[in-house]
Structure 1
Amino acid sequence: MRDRLLAAEKVKAIDWRDDALYLLDQRILPSEENWIAYTSAAGIAEAIREMVVRGAPAIGISAAYAVVLAARARFAAGGDWQAAMEEDFALLADSRPTAVNLFWALNRMRERLERLREHADPLAALEAEALAIHESDREANLTMAQLGVDLIRRHQGNAQAILTHGNTGALATGGFGTALGVIRGAFIEGMVERVYVNETRPWLQGSRLTAWELASEGIPVTLNADSAAAHIMKTKGVTWVVVGADRITANGDVASKIGTYQLAVNAMHHGVRFMVVAPSSSIDMALAGGEDILLEERDGKELLEFGGKQVGAGVEAYNPVFDVTPADLIDAIVTEKGIVERPDTAKLAQLMCRKRLH
C-alpha cells in the first residue's frame, strides 16, 4: 500500500531549497498558487501567525527551518550567537499558541544546538535536524494512513461515506496528510464512496483546501456548511468522522479546529465512529487534560467580514479557532506509533513508550 500512497502524492506546501524556505500561500488557495520565499526567522514567524502556512505538523516543520535561518544570521553576526538565538526561539514560540508541534520542533532544534560537538559545523547540524524533522513527518503520515485504513477495514470494509473537518492533508503536513491521508488511503483501497467536507468557518479550510485536494485526486467529495453535519450523519450513511489534532493531552482530550467538539457529540448520538489522526509529536504528556490547553482566539474581524465585505456591524464577535473534544467521545487516536482505541491516560502513556512502527 505504501507505494500506492506515494504514487498518489501531488500536493506539497513546504520546500526547503537555495538557502530559503518556500511556503505555498494557503490564504489565497485555490484561486491562486503562489510560493513565497522566506530567509529569516522573523519572516517565518509572521507567516505562521498570518496563516500563510497552517496545520500543526507544517507549522512545526516551518519553525525548524526558521531556526536554521536564525542560526545562519546570528553566526554571521559573530559574538555569542547561541545566546542571541533565544530571541528567535521566543519569537517563533509566540507565533501561535495551541499547536504543540510548534514547541516540539523548537525544543528538538534547541536540544540539537546544545548537543553540538566541539569543532562540529553548527549550521550543517541544525539543517540536518530540520530536514530530519521534515522527512520524519512524511514517513509518519504514510504509517498513519496505513494504520487508519486497517482500522476502517476492521470495523467496516465496504465502501462508505466519511465526514471530515478542517484541512489535514498535504497542505497541513510535511507529506501525505494525517486525517486526510487516512481518507486518501481508504479511497485507494476501495473503501470510500464519498467524502463530506465541512466548509470550516471562518477561514474555510475545508472548502478552499480540503475539497480542492480531494477533487484534484479524483476522490468523490461533497462540500457542506458546518451546520449541516448532523443532518448528513443522519441521512447520508456516514460511518466515520475522521479529523486531525493540534494537541492531545495525557488523558486523550483533543484540541482541534473549532467545530470538532460538536462533530464528536453528533457522531456519538448517531452511532458514527470518531477517529483522530495525528503524529505522536501532537501528544503533550505534560498537560493532564483539555482544560489545561491554551486555546487561540483570533480577531473577530474574521467573522464580521466575508470575501473582504462587511457582513456584521455594531456587534462583538467571539472567534475561538480551536475547541477541545473530550476523550470519552473519541473511538480511536491513530499515530505513527500505533492506534489507541477509547483513549485514556494509561493507554496514552503506554503508546508514548513505543517506538515508531516504520
Structure 2
Amino acid sequence: MGSAPVALRWDEPPEGPVIVLLDQRRLPAEEVELVCTDVPALIDAIRTLAVRGAPLLGVAGAYGLALAAVRGFDVEEAAEMLSAARPTAVNLAYGVGRALTAYRASLAGGAGPEGAWRAALAEARALHREDAQASARMAEQGLELLKELLPGGGFRLLTHCNTGALVSGGEGTALAVAGAAHRIGELRRLWVDETRPLLQGARLTAYEAARAGMPYTLLTDNAAGSLFSAGEVDAVVIGADRIAADGSVANKVGSYPLAVLARYHHVPFLVVAPTTTVDLTTADGGAIEVEQRPALEVTEFPGGMPGEVPGRAVAPLGTQAYNPAFDITPPELVTAIVTENGIVSPVTKTGLAELCARSRSGNGMMSI
C-alpha cells in the first residue's frame, strides 16, 4: 500500500523560504513539484489548480501570507490578493486571516518584522497540523456513521471530485472516510466520478485510490444514474468548498445531481468537511458566490496549461460554454454533514450553529 502524497510543504533552501507544491495539473502522469517563491506565483498555482481543495487552500493561504512577510512584500496587499484567488473556497480566506492576525499581533507587540513573519509561519504550521488532525477525526466519525446507516458492511461508496490527501494536510475529507473503511476491509467498491471538465476524479482520486490499494472503478459523471438504478450505490460521500449557515453545500459541479439521485433512490448523501468550511456569515446557498471557470476547459480536451500546448478542440471555434466550478446542494437533500467535531443530521441552521459554537468552545465531538 503506497504512502499518501504530500501536496504542500514549506521549505527553506539557502536562497530563502519557499512553498513547494505537488503540481496536481500534471497528475497522474507525472509527480512534479512546483516551487513558489512569491505570492503571485502561489496565486497562479491556486487559480490554475496546481494546488486545490478547500482545506489545503486554507493551509496554502496561511503559508502564502507568511511567505509575503518573510520575503518583504506588502503583507496587507498579499492578504487581499490571496483571499480573492478562488472566491467560493471559504477556507482560503480563513487561512489567510489566521496568519494575518498572528502577524499583526506580533507587530503590535513590538516583535519587529522577523518576529512578525515567524509568528505568521507558526500560525500556518499550526493550521497545517490541525487540518491533519481534523482529517483523522472526520475519517473516524464518517466510518462510524456508515456503520450505523449501513449495518451490513461491505460499503459501495460513490464519490465526486477529489477529497483525499491532495486536498488536505492529512488524508483528506470524504476520501479519508473511504480509506478508513478500506483499512478494516469494509470498502467493497469505490465508485469514482470522472468529474468533468477537469477530471479531478479520473486524474486525482483514481491516483490516490490506486496508491492506497482501494477497490475502485471509474465512471463518467452521466453514468451515475445507471449505477443508482442498478442498486450498486450504498452511499454518496463528497466534500465541500463552502457550507452556508442553513446547511446548503457548495461543492464541485455535479454534486447536486448526485444528491437528487440519492434522494430518489433512498441512498444516504453524506458531506464530509472540517468546521472551517462552514461559513455562518453566508446565510444560504443563494448567497454563495460560484466561481465561473474559462470556456476552454469545456471546449478543449484536456484543458491547456499555461505555457504549454493547448488542448485539442472538441467544439467549434467561438463556442460559448457554461462552466461553473461548483453547484449548490440544498440542506434537505443532505443526509448528514460530518465534521471533525461532530455530525449534523438532520442538517439545519440551528444544528450547524450549535456545532460551530461547540467547536469554538472546545467541547469536543457532538452528534446533533
Task: Give TM-score, length-normalised by structure 2.
Answer: 0.91
Quote the residue 1:127 is aligned against: 121
Q: Are residues 1:324 and 2:314 paired?
A: no
Unaligned residue ranges in structure 1 (runs of 5+):
1-6, 76-83
Name the CA distance, whole Å, in 1 between partners of 2:122 and 2:155.
42
Name the CA distance, whole Å, in 1 between partners of 2:233 and 2:141.
20
Quote the residue 1:81 is aligned against: none
Q: Are residues 1:238 and 2:233 paired?
A: yes
Contact 1:143–1:336 under 8 Å retained in 2: yes
Q: What amino acid maps onto 2:58 in structure 1?
A: G
What is the DSSP-based 3-state SS (H/G/I as helix, E as strand, rest coil) of the residue aligned with 1:27? helix
Which string of whole-angstrom CA distances, capped at 9 and with x for unpartnered residues, describes residues 61-105 of structure 1? 111111111011227xxxxxxxx3221111112211100001111
Q: What amino acid maps onto 1:93 in structure 2?
A: S
Quote the residue 1:78 is aligned against: none
Name the CA distance, whole Å, in 1 between partners of 2:3 and 2:122.
24
Quote the residue 1:185 is aligned against: 180
Q: What amino acid maps onto 1:119 in structure 2?
A: A
How far residue 237 of structure 1 moved from its aligned partner, in angstroms, is 2.5
Quote the residue 2:189 is aligned against: 194
Quote the residue 1:309 is aligned against: 312
Please give the residue correspondences for 1:229-308 in structure 2 after superposition, counting only pairs within 5 Å.
229-307=224-302, 308=311
Quote the residue 2:136 is aligned against: 142
Q: How many percent identity over aligned positions?
A: 43
> Alignment RMSD, CA only?
1.4
Quote the residue 2:99 is aligned against: 109
Please give the residue correspondences for 1:1-358 in structure 2 after superposition, counting only pairs within 5 Å.
9-18=3-12, 19-74=17-72, 84-116=74-106, 117-119=109-111, 121-157=115-151, 158-307=153-302, 308-313=311-316, 314-355=318-359, 357=364
Quote the residue 2:306 is aligned against: none
Name the CA distance, whole Å, in 1 between partners of 2:149 and 2:267.
11
Contact 1:199–1:224 under 8 Å retained in 2: yes
Contact 1:45–1:63 under 8 Å retained in 2: no
How far residue 9 of structure 1 moved from its aligned partner, in angstroms, is 4.6
Which string of whole-angstrom CA distances, capped at 9 and with x for unpartnered residues, describes residues 98-151 of structure 1? 000011111111211222222361121111101001111000000000000000
Contact 1:9–1:176 under 8 Å retained in 2: no
Runs of 4+ in 1 over 6 A off after TM superposition: none
Name the CA distance, whole Å, in 1 between partners of 2:11 and 2:334.
40
Contact 2:64–2:96 under 8 Å retained in 1: no
**Cα gap change, 1:119 to 1:316, in 2 (>3 Å):** closer
Contact 2:2–2:211 under 8 Å retained in 1: no
Quote the residue 2:308 is aligned against: none
Name the CA distance, whole Å, in 2 between partners of 1:124 and 1:275.
39
Contact 1:255–1:324 under 8 Å retained in 2: yes
Contact 1:245–1:256 under 8 Å retained in 2: yes
Name the CA distance, whole Å, in 2 between partners of 1:328 and 1:95.
30
What is the DSSP-based 3-state SS (H/G/I as helix, E as strand, rest coil) of the residue aligned with 1:238? coil
Contact 2:248–2:330 under 8 Å retained in 1: yes
What is the DSSP-based 3-state SS (H/G/I as helix, E as strand, rest coil) of the residue aligned with 2:30? coil
Quote the residue 2:305 is aligned against: none
Name the CA distance, whole Å, in 1 between partners of 2:80 and 2:149.
45
Name the CA distance, whole Å, in 1 between partners of 2:120 and 2:84.
21
Q: How many residues of Structure 1 are paired with residues of Structure 2 in the alignment?
A: 344
What is the DSSP-based 3-state SS (H/G/I as helix, E as strand, rest coil) of the residue aligned with 1:123? helix
Name the CA distance, whole Å, in 2 between partners of 1:312 and 1:195.
32
How far residue 8 of structure 1 moved from its aligned partner, in angstroms, is 7.4
Name the CA distance, whole Å, in 1 between partners of 2:348 and 2:262.
19
Segment of structure 1 superposing worse, 183-192 or 137-146: 183-192
Task: Give TM-score, length-normalised by structure 1.
Answer: 0.93
How far residue 60 of structure 1 moved from its aligned partner, in angstroms, is 1.2
Contact 2:159–2:237 under 8 Å retained in 1: yes
Q: What amino acid maps onto 1:101 in structure 2?
A: N
How far residue 34 of structure 1 moved from its aligned partner, in angstroms, is 0.2
What is the DSSP-based 3-state SS (H/G/I as helix, E as strand, rest coil) of the residue aligned with 1:141? helix
Contact 2:36–2:42 under 8 Å retained in 1: yes
Segment of structure 1 superposing worse, 106-115 or 277-286: 106-115
What is the DSSP-based 3-state SS (H/G/I as helix, E as strand, rest coil) of the residue aligned with 1:98? coil
Unaligned residue ranges in structure 2 (runs of 5+):
303-310
Name the CA distance, whole Å, in 2 between partners of 1:47 and 1:8.
26
